[in-house]
């Protein structure tokens, strides 16, 4: 990695951290203390210590907004109700924040970095390395991924109406040992980066990244923990207690 990148801000880059108040899987998870600080603070701290120029939290919740400001993020607007319910999509939340920053604040965004607060072990160095990869490849988008450890698609099936299992992948000879399996990856939800031009004239069911011009940044499994429920949170607490090094 070019170390100069981490020392300078990437011009016209915007980190958007989505954090609504109505979490059902783990109520109030975005402000729930993890390692003595709100969950969202881990993502804010990582973003502020990275090469991203501006860090904005999109929320409909006053407590989340106050905590975000205390940890240094910008909260320039309150997310409207139509982008805060269960039916709101990640794309609609992103587009609302992007439009506000470009149209109201007149901030010329070239690079959008979407950082979900449920990934507390995604650090500044991960963001910087992902940005470096994104710039080097020239792809319209980049997503972070991690290697599939247990649930390899070679051993996945669909269930027919007859009750019979049908392999997801048809092949003459199926590997039986894990070490013989091809390496595959899954999206870990930690980092999404796209050129702002990708978001022009998208259909409402589009992804927050461009499937047709997509590169990847590989993260290890512990850094890829995504908190959706109580068990995820307890796993994160255990890992935080046993890890070493700078958490930023």
Cα distances (Å, whole numbers) of residue 6 to 16, 189, 233: 19, 22, 30
Q: For this structure, is 122 an active site residue?
A: no
* Token pair belonging to 233: 């949170």
Coil, helix or strand for 45?
helix
Give the list of residues 6+ apart from residue 103 with CB closer than 8 angstroms, or none: none
Core vs surface per residue 142-180: b (16+ CB within 10 A) or e: bbbbbeeeeeeebeeeeeeeeeeeeeeeeeeeeeeeeee
Query: Within 10 Å of residue 12's Cβ, how many Cβ atoms?
Result: 13
Coil, helix or strand for 26?
coil
- Catalytic-role residue among 174, 177, 178, 186: 174
* Token pair belonging to 126: 């991960």
Number of H helices, E strands in the chain: 6, 10
* Token pair belonging to 85: 């319910």
The label of the residue with tokens 């880059």 reads 13
Coil, helix or strand for 65?
helix
Query: Within 10 Å of residue 113's Cβ, how many Cβ atoms?
Result: 26
The residues carrying an active-site annotation are 174
């Amino acid at each position: 990695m070019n170390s100069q990148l981490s020392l300078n801000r990437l011009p016209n880059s915007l980190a958007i951290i989505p954090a609504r108040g109505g979490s059902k899987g783990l109520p109030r998870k975005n402000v729930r203390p993890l390692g003595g600080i709100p969950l969202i603070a881990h993502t804010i701290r990582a973003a502020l210590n990275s090469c991203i120029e501006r860090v904005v939290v999109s929320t409909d919740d006053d407590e989340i907004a106050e905590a975000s400001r205390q940890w240094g993020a910008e909260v320039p607007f309150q997310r409207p109700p139509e982008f805060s319910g269960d039916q709101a999509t990640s794309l609609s939340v992103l587009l609302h924040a992007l439009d506000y920053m470009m149209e109201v604040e007149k901030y010329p965004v070239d690079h959008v970095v979407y950082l979900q607060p449920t990934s507390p072990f995604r650090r500044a160095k991960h963001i910087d390395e992902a940005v470096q990869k994104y710039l080097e490849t020239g792809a319209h988008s980049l997503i972070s991924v991690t290697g599939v450890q247990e649930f390899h698609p070679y051993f996945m099936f669909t269930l027919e109406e007859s009750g019979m299992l049908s392999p997801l992948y048809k092949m003459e000879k199926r590997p039986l040992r894990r070490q013989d399996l091809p390496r595959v990856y899954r999206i870990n939800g930690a980092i999404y980066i796209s050129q702002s031009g990708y978001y022009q004239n998208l259909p409402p069911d589009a992804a927050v990244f461009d499937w047709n011009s997509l590169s990847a940044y590989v993260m290890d499994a512990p850094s890829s923990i995504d908190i959706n429920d109580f068990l995820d949170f307890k796993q994160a607490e255990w890992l935080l207690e046993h890890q070493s090094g700078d958490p930023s």
